[in-house]
Structure 1
Amino acid sequence: MNAVAKPAATEVAKPAATEGKPDISRYTGAEKAAIILMCLGETAKPLWEMLDEEEIKEVSQAMSSLGLVPAATVETLVIEFVTKMSGSGALMGSYEQTQRMLQAFLPKEKVETLMEEIRGPAGRNIWDKLANVNETVLASYLKNEYPQTVAVVLAKVRPEHAAKVLAELPEDFAAECVQRMLAMEPVQREILEKIELTLRTEFMSNLARTSKRDSHEMMAEIFNNFDRATEGRFIGALEERNREAADRIRALMFVFEDLNKLDAGGVQTLLRSVDKSDLAIALKGASDALRTLFFSNMSERGGKILKEEMAGMGPVRLKDVDAAQTRMVALAKDLAARGEIVLSDGKAEDELIY
């Protein structure tokens, strides 16, 4: 029960070490407890009631991230219930199932608090969780606290994270916090527990409720997958109802013409990866500037062949151009995610210095 719960892949079961008995040593104590409690269902209520809050939290976290647990592993873990389990097969641990099970024996408010923490930043304790909170978000909260409190918090998190948070705080306030850290005496356990409680109840709980994905960002991704006509129709309709929302979505969208922001190395990397037929069709509907960018980063022979291919195509349907451009944008995003190219959003911090 005191082992750290390791998240499992959602869809991939942990393989057995041998062809015979499954290797249950791959599961932590919290994960084993979660599997057994899931098997018991509501009959496990007396066991849940014997756990303290931290243990419930740890087992709940493990349960929500179990993914698929093979039936053979389940039977090994709860061999005394093998007859009952052999009929139901494998188990799937999920956030939703964990929430339903906890609601059977815990007050609604307590369940909501637990699930918010599970959904929030990962970590065994409050300090681990803070290490996974964006430094700007954490600094925005801490700047309203007493410098001494901030000093205690920054002394407890990793030095590299503390440095980033300090850089985000107002200069004078940050300097005062540094002074407090330099002169800090060992913190009394009662004071530390009070700070931990405040962080958990006021900051982390609120963060879990408010850190939902921005709806405009979600809609921008959806709009990126529309063909040009559909995108124009929806954007136009939205502009009539809420121009501000339409403008925000448009600003968040990454469209084919944004490839114009790639540097020479990025264009060449994309050219090496893209399907040549997609490239020819996509450039048929591109601006002169974007065509020039791509041709200027190709060999003379390669550019000539591509131009001849484009000329030989004749008229191309708009939907085919849209589809090819969409695939190129998706490829560019994938390359960016792997760190092979940089997709600039036009911010100063994305500019390259030579």
Structure 2
Amino acid sequence: MTSMDQIEVGDGEEAGSAAPRPLLSRIDRAAVFLMLLSDDEAAALLSRMDPVEVEMIGAAMCELGEIDRAAMTEALEDFVAESTREVLARQDRGAQVRALLERSIGPAKTQSMMLRIEPEPKVRGIEIARWLAPPVLLKLVEEEHPQVIAALLLMLEPEPAAEVLSGLPTSVQPLVVERIARIGPVSQQAIDMIESLLSQKIGASFGISTLTIGGPREAANLINLASGDMRGTVLPAIAQRDGALAERIEEEMFTFEMLFDLDRQAMERLLRDVETENLVDALKGLKEPERAPFFAAMSSRAADGIRDEIDLRGRLARSEVLAAQRKIVEVARALADQGEIIMGADDGEFV
């Protein structure tokens, strides 16, 4: 839509035009168009106008009264007509997309996403690596330092990264997982080294940046996805060097969402040991479909009682909901360790 200094204050009919007299002035059309948007979208547009323009638009919104379909159609057609006259400049488009993504998903994920979508004349090594089968990737990295392997795995998708991790020697696995959990800012020098490695081994180059990646959750995700009883081998080895780190990784391996997949018998066993207050607070933060596995393991009377308590419970801070969910997870972990329920995959990872 044109800027306000191009909008007539009048009947909206342009000089010399043979078109039928419009129902709305240009300002009225702009006001109608804004009212057709969501509140957030309209507010975002108004925030870019100067005070005079906002006053004009606001006054039009107040004075328009009931707006019929013909008026709405006219406003939309006016917007379409004006947009066909505009050209969105390509200059700095990449920088605009990067800034928008960083606000939405953070700098680390944005860097990975931009590597995928940003036009680039040269082929990047990490992009080629993502297309390679895990056995091929394993051959690329198996002789490298555990720190290098950890950084490379964090730049891959979790499933192939976990498969590569599973193929490493058992003596190397704990070293890699520990570094994944500890890794933080990756320096430009380190990324240069990884670029050189990939360039030598797969004939491509890798762009340079600084990333903040890794942490106990990422390490836990890899262990969860890896085959075999990696929890039983990797975590004890890490615990010998850093018990607190091993404990943080293990905590991240058990998530509340895992409870959604418990069968009815396991859920019934879990609920027998869960305090009602914790259950109500934990379910308060869930949508109804997510509550279904819990209610399915109760009698209809008990389920109705929990629903009533959820409805009566006042507003809870997100931290209170998470604390209650964590307490239930701790109960589930204890039952899993005792062999009374199974959490996660049924191939020996959580028994």
TM-score (ref. length: structure 1): 0.34
TM superposition score normalised by structure 2: 0.35
